[in-house]
């Protein structure tokens, strides 16, 4: 705190970021290696699967030619090192299915997924905060207990069910939003809402218990003593102090968001990384699976790094502990 000078704080922060980035590279190599191993563990041979999906007209020459064309005829360790070498340069090869560069396919699918995940995170944080704050402010017991149950419900409802319900009501019955192919904000509302619920549940639960605990804090007593209104105490003082664990948790829900994206993108017919990886898995499209896995891994690493950096701004105490690392 005060015994760390302002300039030092920036230095410590950049050291921390540098260290974390270094370990991120190691983790990333681990991630792509696991991705490589996993795709090769999927039962079935990609060449046979690709040709077998179309029919049984496979002649050995055709199979061998395709195997060579896809560079699957070399020994596994050679394939691995070739993969690692090109991955290091940001090249994940070309898709078995379409022959397009994997990076290009990811670049095309990523914006849709990012906007969906971003909207879902935002919506989840807003809904969760709303529930938690309301449960602190309300005087109605009934509402308070309802608000306590809501987060559990939000977290446990399966995405496909929520999606179907939302579509049935808002799209098929009321016709407010398009069910399919919606672009822009209108098309984003229902899928983002579907995906936001688990985040909303987590945020609401953690924040509500944080707020409950903060009631006994001395700064709350102080604020009250000074005559601040209840809403002012909650919104101005308590919320800011209890937000920290929520931010960490929101960061960790990004992983589950990407999982939910597979379901949500499929039901709402949206393009995105979830759809990309599902179709790649079905077709044994190794390069695409590896590429998407690497990008998702990198995203997770980046997000946890961002959360850590954000922490140093929100809670200066983090810097002080960072000094001793």
Partner 1 sequence: MAQDLTGGPGRRATPHPGRAARSSPHRHRSGAADPSHGTESGDPLTSGRKATASGPGSSERKMTPMRIRTLVLVTAATAILTGCTGKSESGGGDGATPRAGGTLTFATDTDPGCLDPHQSPAAAALLTGRGVVDSLVAQDPRTGDVVPWLAESWKTDERATTYTFTLRGDATFSDGAPVDGAAVKANLDRIVAPATKSLLAAGFLAGYAGTTVTADRTVEVRFSQPNAGFLQAATTAFLGIQSPGSFAAGPAATCRKIVGSGPFTVSDYVPQQRVTLARRTGYRWAPRTAAHQGDAFLEKVVLTIAPDNGVRSGSLRSRQVDAAGNVTPRDAVALGEAGFDVHRREQAGIAYSLFINGAKAPWTDAALRQAVAHAVDRAQVVKTLYQDQYARATSVLTPTTPGYRASETTTSAAEAKRLLDAAGWRAGSDGIRAKDGQRLTLRWTYVSPAREQRDLLAQLVQQQLRAVGVEVLLDPAPAGDVIRRQTTGDWQMGDISFLRADADVLRTVLQSSAGGRPPIVNDPTLAAALAEGAGTLDPEVRKTSYAQAQQRIAEQALAIPVYNPTYLLATGDQVRAATFDAQGLPQFYDTWLDH
Is residue 49 at the binding interface for partner 1, with CB under 8 A as the rule? Answer: yes
- The contacts of residue 18 (CB under 8 Å, 6+ apart) are none
- Contact by Cβ (8 Å): 207, 242: yes
* Segment contacting partner 1 by CB under 8 A, of 2-10, 59-67, 128-136, 310-318: 59-67
Kindly state the tokens that stand for 4: 């760390």
**Of 52, 74, 245, 316, which lies in the binding site for partner 1, with binding defined by CB under 8 A?**
52
Whichever of 92 and 96 has its CB closer to partner 1, that residue is 96
Cβ proximity to partner 1: between 37 and 323 the closer is 37
Cβ atoms of residues 200 and 131 within 8 Å: yes
Q: Identify the bridge partners of residue 101 per DSSP, sorted by sequence position.
A: 94
Q: Choose the stretch contacting partner 1; rule: CB under 8 A; options: 3-11, 132-140, 163-171, 202-210.
A: 163-171
Distance CA 237, CA 279 (A): 48
Distance (Å, whole) CA 223 – CA 66: 73
Contact positions with partner 1 (CB under 8 A) in 89-108: 94, 96-101, 105, 108
Q: Does 283 bind partner 1 (CB under 8 A)?
A: yes
Beta-bridge mates of residue 94: 101
Candidate segments 22-30, 49-57, 141-149, 232-240, binder of partner 1 by CB under 8 A: 49-57
Query: If binding is defined by CB under 8 A, does position 194 make contact with partner 1?
Result: no
Q: Is 162 in the site for partner 1 (CB under 8 A)?
A: no
Q: Is the dihedral of CA 212, 218, 221, 222 positive or negative?
A: negative
Tally of CA atoms within 13 A in the half-sphere of 105 that contains its CB: 26
Binding mask 24-43 for partner 1 (x = CB under 8 A): ------------------xx
Look up residue 63 and give its two tokens.
């199979």
* Maximum CA extent, the chain: 86
Taking the complex as a whole, the smallest distance from the CB of residue 40 to partner 1 amounts, in Å, to 12
Which tokens sit at 198? 């688990």
Q: How far is the CB of 231 from partner 1 (least distance, A)?
A: 42
The answer to whether residues 196 and 257 touch, using CB atoms and an 8 Å cutoff, is no
Residue 110, classed as helix, strand or coil, is helix
**69 contributes a contact to partner 1 by CB under 8 A:** yes
To partner 1, the closest distance from the beta carbon of 55 in angstroms equals 6
**167 counts as binding partner 1 under rule CB under 8 A:** yes
Q: Which is nearer to partner 1, 9 or 284 (CB)?
A: 284
List of residues 6+ apart from 141 with CB closer than 8 A: none
Question: If binding is defined by CB under 8 A, does position 178 make contact with partner 1?
Answer: yes
- Of 125-133, 145-153, 174-182, 234-242, the segment contacting partner 1 by CB under 8 A is 174-182
Q: Report the C-alpha gap between 291 and 277 in whole angstroms.
A: 9
Total chain residues near partner 1 (CB under 8 A):
60
Cβ atoms of residues 194 and 260 within 8 Å? yes
If the CB atoms of residues 79 and 320 are measured against partner 1, the closer one turns out to be 79
Residues found near partner 1 in the complex (CB under 8 A): 42-46, 48-60, 62-63, 65-66, 68-70, 94, 96-101, 105, 108-109, 164, 167-168, 171-173, 175, 178-181, 265-272, 275-276, 279, 282-284
């Amino acid at each position: 705190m005060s015994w760390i000078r302002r300039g030092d704080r920036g230095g410590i922060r950049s050291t921390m970021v540098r260290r974390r980035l270094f370990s991120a590279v190691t983790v990333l190599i681990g991630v792509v290696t696991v991705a490589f191993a996993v795709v090769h563990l999927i039962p079935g041979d990609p060449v046979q699967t690709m040709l077998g999906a179309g029919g049984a007209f496979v002649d050995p020459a055709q199979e061998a030619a395709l195997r060579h064309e896809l560079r699957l005829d070399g020994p596994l360790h050679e394939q691995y090192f070739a993969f690692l070498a090109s991955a290091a340069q940001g090249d994940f090869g070309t898709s078995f299915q379409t022959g397009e560069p994997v990076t290009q396919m990811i670049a095309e699918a990523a914006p849709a997924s990012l906007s969906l995940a971003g909207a879902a995170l935002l919506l989840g944080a807003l809904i969760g905060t709303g529930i938690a704050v309301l449960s602190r402010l309300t005087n109605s017991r009934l509402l308070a207990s309802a608000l306590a149950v809501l987060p559990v419900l939000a977290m446990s409802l399966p995405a496909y069910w929520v999606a179907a319900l939302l579509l049935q009501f808002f799209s098929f019955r009321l016709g407010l939003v398009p069910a399919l192919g919606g672009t822009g904000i209108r098309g984003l509302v229902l899928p983002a809402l579907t995906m936001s619920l688990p985040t909303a549940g987590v945020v609401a639960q953690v924040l509500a218990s944080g707020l409950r605990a903060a009631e006994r804090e001395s700064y709350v007593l102080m604020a009250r003593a000074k005559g601040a209104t209840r809403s002012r105490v909650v919104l101005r003082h308590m919320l800011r102090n209890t937000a920290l664990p929520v931010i960490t948790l929101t960061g960790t829900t990004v992983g589950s968001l990407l999982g939910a994206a597979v379901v949500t993108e499929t039901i709402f017919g949206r393009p995105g990384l979830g759809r990309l990886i599902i179709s790649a898995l079905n077709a044994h499209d190794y390069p695409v699976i590896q590429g998407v896995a690497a990008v998702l891994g990198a995203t997770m690493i980046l997000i946890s790094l961002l959360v850590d950096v954000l922490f140093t701004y929100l809670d200066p105490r983090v810097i002080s502990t960072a000094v001793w690392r």
